Amino acid sequence: MVFTSYLFVFYFLPLVLAGYYALPARSGWRNAWLLLASYVFYGWWNPWFVLLMAGVTAVNYVCGRLIARPGTTPGQRRWSLASAVVLSLGTLCFFKYFVFLQTNLNHILAAFGVGGVPVWQVVLPIGISFYIFHALSYAVDVYRGTARAARSFADFACYIALFPQSVAGPIIRYNTVEHDLRDRSHSAAQFASGITLFILGFAKKVLLANPLGTVADAAFGAQSLDAVGAWFGVVAYALQIYFDFCGYSDMAVGLGRMFGFEFMKNFDAPYRAESITDFWRRWHISLSTFLRDYLYIPLGGNRGTTTRTYANLAIVMLLGGLWHGANWTFIVWGAWHGGLLIAERWAGKRPAYQRLPKPVRIAATFLLVLGSWVWFRAATLGDALLYFRAMLGGGGSSEVGALLAGQLFAPGKLAVMAVALCFLFARRQAHEWSETVTWPKIAVVLLVFILALLAMISQSSNPFLYFQF
């Protein structure tokens, strides 16, 4: 089930809201209802995967209780944490990387003239990377003493499965919602703000990301492109992935507000970043802070030698790339960003490019990010290299005529691209704009929602890009 679907908008969400507010205000009853609804939401694709989520939840709940239990020795606490980490990461690695490892093993064996092993196909559970990270952050925070162990299994299960953020984030830490799970308040203003933000995110996805996705698909699926078409295609993909994921995050935060939760803002105008370091302060903030707090800092951060700091950055970004998917393209994407972050740190706090005008710094950063999106979007490393070649003018032009007339430069697509670019530089983002709701805003939002619903009904493809991660 996806947020931008007939089923969710007209049936699931109204039913869940009605049941939620019909129950007594005590959080226990409402958490149980949300847990049931979340399992239905998650199990809509494959009911069996609910058992996997419940198993991960049970393991981390038990380990958290053992870590926090009075009288537990330091050694027992470490073993409990190690059990939670190994079992959670083991589950993630099996489902996400087992086929990738088998395939690459066969390539190595073939290079030595040895027959390969049979490749077992494993179905990737949707959103597993996100809820595994929720569980991991909980176990580590309980061990560190920055979060209290959950007393109620139902409340903890609700945190892991909560449908607004279970399958595509943002990555929410238990200590930020612990109080809300036990005792949260509701107000008409908060609910109205949540609906407003949900609709704005819905519109970003349906009115901007989906049409731009058809442009990106046409460009990256072409056998040959000229430089103009290639650049246009990668810009379309940059806008698609931003409005797709930012739109989903806005919807998740908006849904959270409807049920009394306040989730973190996950995007902060990332294409206005003035450096790659600045970009990672703005893009997928919940992931970048997770990697910083649970990987970069434990590795030593920037407290050691310069070489060690560079190594830590490289490790974090390589693993961040691998987190996105079992493909060498994602690893190279991580290496691309890791190399740029290392270069910026090597340049020092006052590098020469800081003396450039701000628009130039933003444009240069955007070009570097565009390069990374080629690796991210391409199916293989060879495809990425061919696309770079096209961007540099080395591609063919046999398909350009059809693409120009159809998918790439059709008037409607150009209009969507122009609107999307305007929103990138809007003074106020949806997250802030929705904090206060007035009657003029309500009129605007209702009109936007009607347009988005009409577009949703007419669109044939409506996937969320980050569901696959």
Judged against a pLDDT cut of 90, whether residue 387 lies above it is answered with yes
DSSP state, 70?
A: T
Give the 3-state secondary structure percentages of the chain, helix then strand then coil, rounded to 5. 75, 0, 25
Judged against a pLDDT cut of 90, whether residue 311 lies above it is answered with yes
Q: What is the pLDDT of residue 195?
A: 95
Residue 49 binned pLDDT confidence (cut-offs 50, 70, 90): very high
Q: What is the pLDDT of residue 462?
A: 63
Q: Virtual CA dihedral for 399, 405, 410, 411, nearest 10 degrees?
A: 150
Cα separations (Å) of 152 from 28, 72, 88? Answer: 9, 20, 20
> Mean pLDDT across the chain, nearest whole number?
89
Q: What is the pLDDT of residue 35?
A: 95
Cβ–Cβ contacts within 10 Å for residue 295, how many?
15
Task: Give the number of residues written for the chain.
Answer: 469
Q: Virtual CA dihedral for 107, 111, 112, 117, nearest 10 degrees?
A: 20
pLDDT digits (tens, 9 = 90+) for 91-111: 999 999 888 888 888 888 887
Element (H, E) at 2: none
Q: Encoding tokens for residue 448? A: 């936007």
Q: Whole-model pTM? A: 0.92
Judged against a pLDDT cut of 80, whether residue 20 lies above it is answered with yes
Annotated catalytic residue 324 = yes
Judged against a pLDDT cut of 60, whether residue 399 lies above it is answered with no
Q: Virtual CA dihedral for 449, 252, 438, 268, nearest 10 degrees?
A: -110
Residue 261 binned pLDDT confidence (cut-offs 50, 70, 90): very high
pLDDT digits (tens, 9 = 90+) for 279-309: 999 999 999 999 999 999 999 988 888 899 9
Pick the catalytic residue from 284, 324, 337, 431: 324
Residue 266 burial (C-beta neighbours within 10 Å; 0-12, 13-18, 19+): buried
Residue 163 binned pLDDT confidence (cut-offs 50, 70, 90): very high
Q: What is the pLDDT of residue 33?
A: 94
Residue 40 burial (C-beta neighbours within 10 Å; 0-12, 13-18, 19+): middle
| Residue 90 CA, distance from chain mean position | 21
Q: Encoding tokens for residue 424? A: 């990138």
Considering only CA atoms, which of 216, 196, 194, 201 is closest in space to residue 262? 194
Among residues of the chain, what percentage have pLDDT more than 70? 95
